[in-house]
């Protein structure tokens, strides 16, 4: 097992390098880089040339912003002073060749230095640390709800396999699976949130109320859950089907094995057979998949949910960075997502071994 872990750890930097390289290359050919964003604002009169260079205003950039990626895709001066455009390129770092910018970025990331945001004038690592608790709380509550419902439901479906309960429960969870999370979120908002909704039971957006700091500690907890209820529901509705059916099929596979039939032949109580003989083997793949499921919820499913409910998490931060072409944030969050994902997948493999020591990844072909 130690050899397997060593191989996986050695593959982490190689995988990270490949992910960053692919996305860096894509950014070179994607239209509408950060300079185009600044120029567009200038031409629309939303920011002055002084603001565009010095960092003043919402669209300003810091003079020491580190260039992560990007390029100007046109030789046009956009009707502006060519010297101004050269200054913009220099401040963003786009006066350097692409390969130089890439290796500078990689070297900085090795030191966990993600530079500063082009448009927020703050270090990227501060923004990530600030937003991470929102995303992790949303992901954890969603995953706990999914496991808390799907595992008991899957066990029940395995015991009642082929009955009306099995049929109708499958119908319900597959309907939920077929509905995109963002669409279900919009339906929830129309029905339960905002002044124009049918019931107006929940807040429209945000994670806490404006007066959250003035509330008592119990009221703060209640206010937090009041705000997070709809986002969690929207994020989990599509996640029940996979885990429920995985649990059901795992139990069905174990139920028909010889040791279970022997236990029943000895007259052992059915509940004892189910939870004493079947549960551990059947739950192996379900429990070990928790880290991977958390990564899926955190870094894919929550993005649109955070945008729709205006939750200041990593998903919303990444979305805004893509829209504004804020490359330090884009690549910084991508690096963090990828690193955490690789670590969590390794933890998932270790969970398999802890639950069932018979598994040996070193013998896999």
Per cent of the chain over pLDDT 70 is 84
| Distance from C-alpha of 133 to C-alpha of 106, rounded to nearest angstrom | 26
What is Dmax (Cα atoms) for the chain?
A: 90
Topology at the third CATH level for domain 126-324? MetI-like fold (1.10.3720)
324's tokens: 């504004």
Q: How confident is the model at residue 197 (pLDDT cuts 50, 70, 90)?
A: low
| Distance from C-alpha of 100 to C-alpha of 103, rounded to nearest angstrom | 5
Give Rg (Cα) of the chain: 26
Is residue 211 pLDDT above 90, yes or no?
no
Is residue 18 pLDDT above 60, yes or no?
yes
Alpha carbon distances (Å) from 158 to 167, 240, 263, 267, 315: 11, 15, 18, 20, 36
Give 47-72 pLDDT, tens digit per residue: 544 444 444 444 444 333 333 334 44
Give 313-347 pLDDT, tens digit per residue: 888 898 888 888 889 999 998 898 888 888 888 88
Residue 193 pairs in a beta bridge with 202
Show me where the domains of the chain are located: 2-122, 126-324
Please report the pLDDT score of residue 8 as a whole number.
Answer: 83
Give the SS3 label for residue 198. coil
């Amino acid at each position: 097992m130690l050899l397997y872990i060593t191989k996986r750890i050695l593959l982490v930097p190689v995988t990270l390098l490949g992910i960053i390289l692919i996305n860096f290359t894509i950014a070179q050919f994607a239209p509408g880089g950060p300079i185009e964003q600044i120029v567009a604002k200038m031409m629309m009169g939303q920011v002055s040339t002084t603001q565009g260079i010095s960092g003043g205003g919402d669209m300003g950039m810091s003079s020491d912003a580190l260039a992560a990626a990007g390029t100007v895709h046109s030789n046009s001066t956009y009707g502006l002073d060519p010297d101004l455009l050269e200054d913009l390129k220099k401040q963003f770092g786009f006066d350097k060749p692409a390969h130089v910018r890439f290796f500078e970025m990689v070297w900085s990331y090795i030191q966990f230095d993600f530079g500063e945001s082009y448009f927020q004038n703050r270090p990227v690592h501060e923004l990530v640390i600030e937003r991470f608790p929102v995303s992790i709380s949303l992901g954890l509550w969603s995953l706990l709800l999914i496991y808390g419902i799907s595992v008991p439901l899957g066990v029940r479906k395995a015991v009642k396999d082929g009955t009306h309960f099995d049929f109708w429960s499958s119908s319900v969870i597959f309907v939920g699976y077929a509905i995109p999370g963002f669409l279900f979120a919009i339906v929830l908002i129309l029905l339960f949130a905002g002044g124009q909704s049918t019931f107006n039971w929940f807040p429209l957006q945000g994670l806490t109320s404006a007066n959250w700091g003035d509330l008592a500690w119990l009221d703060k907890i209640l206010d937090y859950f009041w705000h997070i209820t709809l986002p969690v529901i929207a994020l989990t509705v599509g996640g029940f089907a996979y885990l429920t059916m995985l649990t059901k099929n795992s139990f069905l596979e174990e139920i028909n094995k010889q040791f279970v039939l022997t236990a029943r032949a000895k007259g052992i109580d059915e509940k004892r057979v189910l939870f004493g003989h079947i549960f551990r083997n059947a739950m192996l793949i379900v429990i070990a998949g928790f880290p991977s499921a958390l990564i899926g919820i955190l870094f894919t499913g929550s993005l649109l949910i955070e945008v729709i409910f205006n939750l200041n998490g990593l998903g919303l931060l990444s979305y805004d960075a893509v829209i504004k072409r804020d490359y330090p944030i884009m690549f910084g969050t991508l690096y963090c997502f990828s690193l955490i994902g690789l670590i969590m997948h390794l933890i998932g493999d270790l969970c398999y071994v802890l639950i069932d020591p018979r598994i040996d990844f070193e013998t896999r072909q």
